[in-house]
């Protein structure tokens, strides 16, 4: 009884990551075109047409990590594939680079979706003459 509880605790601690029924380790072994089979249709079509661009980007990322440099890119349209999981990529949003840590839930999405180009707009209070009640103050 006690041995069963310990094995269950170990299984809970080392939670495996899955994407569409496949283990992350199995997906990382696959080629970029083979891993496209598990993606939604729009992402799959992009990968099958531009697999060479994505493979080139992955090799560049691996070279930068080997040199212990940051990965910085302007390519917001790159679809996140399983081989990119675990990387932290700085994506340009038009003004500066925002760091995006890649997780399993991001597979199939694009890099630009996680680096917003516009910020939240906050307005201050209305000025004199902006409302009917403040027009009387103007005179």
| Closest to 82 (Cα-Cα) out of 63, 54, 56, 50 | 54
36 domain-assigned? yes
Q: Could you read off the pLDDT of 4-39 as tens digits, one per residue?
A: 665 555 544 457 788 877 888 888 888 999 988 889
Segments forming the whole domain that contains residue 71: 15-117
Q: Give the global pTM.
A: 0.75
Please check whether residue 65 is in contact with residue 87, taking contact to mean a CB–CB distance below 8 angstroms.
yes
DSSP-based three-state secondary structure for 78:
coil
List the helix and strand counts (H, then E) for the chain.
Answer: 6, 5
Q: Could you read off the pLDDT of 109-138 as tens digits, one per residue?
A: 999 999 999 888 888 887 777 777 766 665
CATH number at residue 44: 3.30.860.10
122 domain-assigned? no
pLDDT score for 8: 57
Count of domains for the chain = 1
């Amino acid at each position: 009884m006690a041995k069963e509880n310990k094995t269950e605790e170990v299984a809970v601690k080392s939670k495996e990551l899955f994407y569409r029924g496949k283990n992350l380790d199995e997906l990382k072994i696959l080629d970029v075109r083979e891993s496209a089979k598990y993606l939604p249709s729009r992402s799959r079509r992009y990968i099958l047409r531009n697999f060479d661009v994505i493979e080139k980007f992955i090799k560049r990322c691996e070279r930068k990590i080997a040199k212990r440099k940051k990965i910085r890119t302007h390519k917001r349209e790159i679809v996140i594939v399983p081989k990119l999981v675990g990387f932290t990529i700085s994506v340009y949003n038009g003004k500066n680079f925002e760091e995006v840590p890649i997780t399993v839930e991001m597979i199939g999405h694009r890099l630009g979706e996680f680096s917003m180009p516009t910020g939240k707009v906050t307005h201050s209070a209305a000025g004199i003459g902006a409302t009917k009640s403040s027009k009387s103050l103007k005179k």
